[in-house]
Amino acid sequence: MSALLETDGVVAGYVPDVPILNGVSIHAEAGEIVTIVGPNGAGKSTLVKTIFGLLRPHRGSVRLDGAELAGRRPHEIARCGLGYVPQRDNVFANLTVRENLELGSFDRRATAELIERMYELFPRLGERPRQRAGSMSGGERQMVAMARALMPEPRILLVDEPSAGLSPAFVDVIFGKLREINERGVTIVMVEQNARRALAMSHRGYVLDLGVNRFTGTGHELLDDPRVAELYLGGTARVDAPAAISEK
Ligand SMILES: Nc1ncnc2c1ncn2[C@@H]1O[C@H](COP(=O)(O)OP(=O)(O)OP(=O)(O)O)[C@@H](O)[C@H]1O
Ligand SMILES: [Mg+2]
């Protein structure tokens, strides 16, 4: 049985002959939460952009349910059931919450009902449908971005740094929402600097460094591996350490 989402030896970058990813192989089974961690510049966002078709791999393959995605364009990939929340600039700042969600819809007739579902998942958005996204807090904007990506009811949600820059309270909210989205049946592939928190709730994790995946295992295996802790998690702090801990 093949994985739901799989990259196999992906080599990719922004210009020809300058690969940022040097052969990355990761996979996610249906229903999993998979987290990719690694230092700044490791290529995490590049990997997610390549999966979503924003970059065309120079070599290797990206498969969804066994079907090749490499070479397809983002809108086609979205129609195959992938949702993507970029690391930055992930909302239309001049549009309202509702307008942002409408733009995420692929099915006009279902839009109103899907928006209501998003307001159930994110009641905070339902309380302010006419607020401009640009005037919202970072955590609220992250909710808008996640809700917009969920509007087409994707099978897989790719999220790049969902907790970046958020207050500890909002980090909890966003991680809770990701768990809830996963419990509703959506496979989650996320990149996170808040590595300990993210790995602790992940079925599988990858450490990406210098464009290759260096370590893999269940979230807890990675957290318990002294090499991973030392090199990427800032030492041997406890798994349930409270503060926001990044691996740098
Ligand atoms: N649009 C771009 N054009 C050219 N090079 C880029 C572009 N975006 C990223 N890079 C380069 O690709 C490398 C990997 O960047 P990437 O954004 O994938 O790292 P990352 O692991 O997501 O880092 P961070 O943790 O800081 O988000 C970096 O050297 C970066 O400078
Ligand atoms: Mg990044």
Structure-block tokens of residue 114? 């899907």
Distance CA 180, CA 197 (A): 16
44 lines ligand 1 (CB under 6 A): yes
Mutate to test the pocket of ligand 1, among 14, 18, 58 (most ligand atoms within 8 A of CB): 14
Distance CA 244, CA 165 (A): 10
**Atom 18, ligand 1: residue with shortest CA distance:** 43
The 10s digit of each residue's pLDDT in 26-72 is: 999 999 999 999 999 999 999 999 999 999 999 999 999 999 999 99
45 lines ligand 1 (CB under 6 A): yes
Instruction: For residue 236, name the pLDDT band (cuts at 50, 70, 90).
Output: low
The Cβ-side half-sphere exposure at 224, using a 13 Å CA radius, reads 5
- 182 three-class SS: helix
**Atom 31, ligand 1: residue with shortest CA distance:** 41
Do residues 50 and 22 touch, judged by C-beta distance below 8 A? no
The arrangement of secondary structure in 1-81+155-248, i.e. its CATH architecture, is: 3-Layer(aba) Sandwich (3.40)
pTM for this model (two decimals)? 0.92
Q: Which atom of ligand 1 is nearest to the CA of 211?
A: 14
The Cβ-side half-sphere exposure at 222, using a 13 Å CA radius, reads 30
**Domain spans, the chain:** 1-81+155-248, 90-153
Q: Which atom of ligand 1 is nearest to the CA of 191?
A: 22
Maximal CA-CA distance, the chain:
52
